[in-house]
Chains A and B, each alone.
Chain A
């Protein structure tokens, strides 16, 4: 059994993930409760490189997709794990203790989407000096409207 088959086997059977392939990337969609378990499992399987943690704002479905991408040497396997959380309660378990770079990526996602990563104590502004009133990357914040308003202010 190859490394990828083993991972697929575990994630599909144990964590009931949905599987799809996107060119080089193996995508798994898990439930919110299994998100941390999937991360833990992948970390134990020596997926050492954590590429990104980010989110997508599906405002019409009233959901946030939170996902991360990891990579494994030397087999060169990319895995993306995605989960959905309600927009009304944007909270998810933090995976910052599993990879050294995950904490700061969660901090960036928190700043841009106001999604709370439970367990990560370092959620404070990273790029901005003050906490913004409205999360800049959320869909309800229309930058073009904001620009027009700033013109009329002067």
Chain B
């Protein structure tokens, strides 16, 4: 009897321990750090082996590398040589310079934390690059008075994620990094916020909204800018529609370099901010000059508006939309009309690609849709290979499949979390976003980067998987399968969640086809269409997988379709790792200025959101003459979403919106 009771108690503890062993990852802060190569962080330069060829400076698409003169040798035989100097306020960590370096004297390390109050500190001359990177905590400054101390410990943050950096802010606010341990919480209203976090590139359309929010914040106010784009345009430095330096408009206190910066870097910036604020720092002087060009157009009621109706702007700074806006006409709680307002993320990708060579573009294409970058580089490389007539090695096909499937899984997990947030189910958000870190960790191991992998150049893949990668993956997959069952109990079969999503936003089969919906959205409406089967690419033909389909076509089944696809993706990865053939991983493509014969190519792939099409046209030059990207979201959001929203309640708008799994960067391009 006693034995049984003891066993009962021990079992409870065992169960608890098992749960904790599989718990979502929360990173330690400050991170443990040993300098290692084969990652995509700060460069190191070996000055002795550098051949001064300048190839790294030539291949850099962002012009971040400059060759600077240095005098060498004794007095008798002095000679002038050139070494690379890197401006990390421009560098996007794409590793093209490292790949091209003939002596491998330029390398990348895992040191990715770069935070400064002045962008000039990001300029590292060759002598600095030669030193191994160190991670130093920001210096604690003296506390000046109780008021400053109290202020520094309770910063309320206004998040405005304008672009790609959104993806690394997800672990930052979620359980992966947990910003609340720094005493910060998300402010829902600019009038209560102390800190404005600007995440990513800023277009002409977005900058007006940022200024409006900044003006509404009470003094003292602090601005933290994420990524390289607000410093000088970043990857989109020659785009016609992005602003180049955000501090021409609003003052910025702390800059974080990276593309996107890792969540650890945001943590360092915040610690630096806390140190300065407790020392009495009260932000820079306001310098907003509100010219007519920067003023927002007023939201005027339409002339023929029913007196019972109101106009409700929904977004672009809204946790339920991302950087995307809906103009809702409402009658009480009911939506009577919805008009999408897109273009907040429009950078003009198709033309940016014309200014970069076929090879350099591999750095750019992922950034079209940050949520599922892997698919976008795969489709691009497939189109280029089609044009150039390159057959890629078998092993590379399998590695591409593995990367694309990991990318799909992390995208679906992100979406489950967003749906959790939209339905007010924040437990789910924290569970899925924490688990997503496990997948990102594997991608980091495999490709060297968490988000922008730059893994699939035309001709194959850049690097082989590490030795113990298969074991790590298998371990994660085994644990994840148990977690997914947990998801079903907590989330999918939860009656409250079902009440929020079942029979909501119903998309009938014929409407879905006519509106060119693809991916899990159309499969939830009863159409069994998957490009991986219709036109098999990479290694999909040799792999066995199911495509979950449902007839109902409502928000709930779109979400369940994604949940089931995660499981199928794990099956694909398992098989691909099992069948992985040996051999080379890259076919010869030519130099970075390689010219491709005249012609055109169209490639189709199944991204996490649906069918993705690249149409590339060559006129025989070393860069595309015209590139057209047909992403899966344009029709779903710009054309279909307003029709789905009519007649629903305001509270259901974010649920329907995220059940379609939008990526605003994809439809705006």
Contact = CB atoms under 8 A, between A and B. Distances in A.
B346 A128 contact: yes
A88 interface: no
A57 B626 contact: yes
A3 interface: no
A104 B342 CA distance: 12
B351 interface: yes
Contacts of B617: 56
Interface string B633-649: 01100110000000000
B348 interface: yes
B666 to A, nearest CB: 13
Given A23-B386, A52-B613, A146 B240 contact: yes
Interface string B436-464: 00000000000000000000000000000
Contacts of A129: 204-205, 297, 343
B625 interface: yes
Contacts of B638: 104, 126
A100 interface: yes
Contacts of B668: 127
A99 to B, nearest CB: 7
Interface in B227-274: 237-241, 244, 248
A13 interface: no
Contacts of A150: 244
A141 interface: yes
Interface string A124-147: 001111000000110001011011
Nearest to A70: B516
B529 interface: yes
B426 interface: no
A141 B630 CA distance: 23
Nearest to B510: A48
Chain A contact surface mostly: mixed
Contacts of A141: 240
Contacts of A69: 602, 613, 615, 630
Contact of B535 (A24, A54, A136, A147): A24
Given A49-B513, A52-B628, A128-B346, A24 B635 contact: no
Contacts of A4: none
Interface string A35-78: 00000000000001111101011000000000001000100101
B515 interface: yes
A25 B205 contact: no
B534 interface: yes
A120 to B, nearest CB: 14
A153 to B, nearest CB: 11
A48 to B, nearest CB: 5
B458 to A, nearest CB: 16
Contacts of B529: 73
Interface residues of B, number: 44
Given A22-B601, A147-B238, A50 B516 contact: yes
Contacts of A143: 238-240, 348, 351-352, 355
A102 B295 CA distance: 33
Interface in B501-540: 513-516, 527, 529, 534-535
Given A54-B615, A99-B514, A137 B350 contact: yes
Given A52-B615, A52-B628, A128 B639 contact: no
A85 B548 CA distance: 44
Contact of A80 (B602, B604, B634): B602
B381 to A, nearest CB: 15
Contacts of B601: 22-23
Contact of A101 (B615, B626, B639): B639
Nearest to A76: B534
B46 interface: no
Nearest to B383: A23
B615 A137 contact: no
Interface string B329-351: 00000000000001100101011
Interface in B619-661: 625-626, 628, 630, 634-635, 638-639
Contacts of A136: 240-241, 348, 351
B613 A51 contact: yes
Interface string B199-218: 00000110000000000000
A126 B602 contact: no
A127 B604 contact: no
Contact of B639 (A100, A146, A147, A154): A100
Contact of B355 (A49, A54, A144): A144
B87 interface: no
Contacts of B240: 136, 141, 143, 146
Contact of A73 (B527, B630, B639): B527
Contacts of A80: 602
Contacts of A23: 386, 601-602
B636 to A, nearest CB: 10
A81 to B, nearest CB: 13
Contact of A25 (B297, B515, B602): B602
A108 B33 CA distance: 48
A129 B348 CA distance: 15
B613 A100 contact: no
A154 B205 CA distance: 20
9 contacts: A48-B514, A51-B613, A52-B628, A104-B634, A104-B639, A127-B346, A129-B205, A136-B351, A144-B355
Given A23-B386, A136-B348, A143-B351, 6 more contacts: A49-B516, A56-B617, A78-B604, A104-B635, A128-B346, A143-B239
